[in-house]
Amino acid sequence: VIRAFSTSTLHFHAVKTVTVIGSGLMGSGIAQVAAATGHKVTLVDKTKEIVDKAEVSIKKSIDRIVKKKFPDDAKAQLKYSTDVLANLNMSTDVLTAVKSSDLVIEAIVENLDVKRELFGLLDNAAPEKTLFASNTSSIPIKDIASVTKRKDKFGGLHFFNPVPLMKLLEVIRIPETSDETYNLLDAFGKALGKTTVQCKDTPGFIVNRLLVPYMVEAIRLVERGDASPRDVDTAMKLGAGYPMGPFELLDYVGLDTTKFIIDGWSKRDPENPLFKPSPILNKLVDDNKLGLKTGEGFYKYNKQ
Stretch that binds ligand 3HC, among 3-11, 177-185, 230-238, 242-250 (CB under 6 A): 242-250
Q: Give the burial string for 230-254 (b: 16+ CB within 10 Å, else e).
A: eebbebbeeeeeeeebbbbbbbebb
Adjacency order of strands within the sheet including 168-173: 88-91, 40-44, 17-21, 103-106, 131-134, 154-158, 168-173, 195-200
ω into 140 cis (within 30 of 0): no
Stretch that binds ligand 3HC, among 4-12, 94-102, 158-166, 287-295 (CB under 6 A): 158-166
Q: Which of 28, 137, 138, 278 is catalytic?
A: 137
Residue nearest to ligand 3HC (CB): 137
Please give the Cα distance from 261 to 216 (Å, whole number): 11
Task: List the one residue out of 18, 4, 6 whose CA is nearest residue 191.
Answer: 18
For residue 131, the cross-strand partners are 103
Considering the rule CB under 6 A, would residue 167 count as an interface residue with ligand 3HC? no
Q: Which of 28, 158, 248, 278 is catalytic?
A: 158
| DSSP secondary structure letter of residue 16 | -
Give the residue, chosen from 28, 61, 87, 148, that forms a contact with ligand 3HC under the rule CB under 6 A.
Answer: 61
Give the residue, chosen from 75, 243, 271, 304, that forms a contact with ligand 3HC under the rule CB under 6 A.
Answer: 243
Beta strands in the chain (DSSP E): 17-21, 40-44, 88-91, 103-106, 131-134, 154-158, 168-173, 195-200
Q: Which of residues 126-145 bind ligand 3HC (CB under 6 A)?
A: 137
- Three-state DSSP at 94 gives helix
For residue 86, the cross-strand partners are none
Give least dist CB 200 to ligand 3HC, A: 17
Give least dist CB 157 to ligand 3HC, A: 12
Counting residues that bind ligand 3HC (by CB under 6 A) gives 18
Give least dist CB 93 to ligand 3HC, A: 27
Give least dist CB 82 to ligand 3HC, A: 17
Beta strands in 103-209 (DSSP E): 103-106, 131-134, 154-158, 168-173, 195-200
Q: Which of residues 205-224 bind ligand 3HC (CB under 6 A)?
A: 208, 211
Which residues have C-beta within 8 Å of that of residue 37, sequence separation ≥ 6?
A: 191, 192, 193
Residue 158 annotated to the active site: yes
Which residues have C-beta within 8 Å of that of residue 300, sequence separation ≥ 6?
A: none
- Per-residue interface string for the shown chain with ligand 3HC, residues 249-278, x marking contact by CB under 6 A: x---x---x---------------------
Stretch that binds ligand 3HC, among 76-84, 143-151, 190-198, 241-249 (CB under 6 A): 241-249
- Per-residue interface string for the shown chain with ligand 3HC, residues 171-210, x marking contact by CB under 6 A: -------------------------------------x--
| Catalytically active residues, by annotation | 137, 158, 170, 208
Query: Footprint of ligand 3HC on this chain (CB under 6 A)?
Result: 61, 64-65, 68, 137, 160-162, 164-166, 208, 211, 243-244, 249, 253, 257
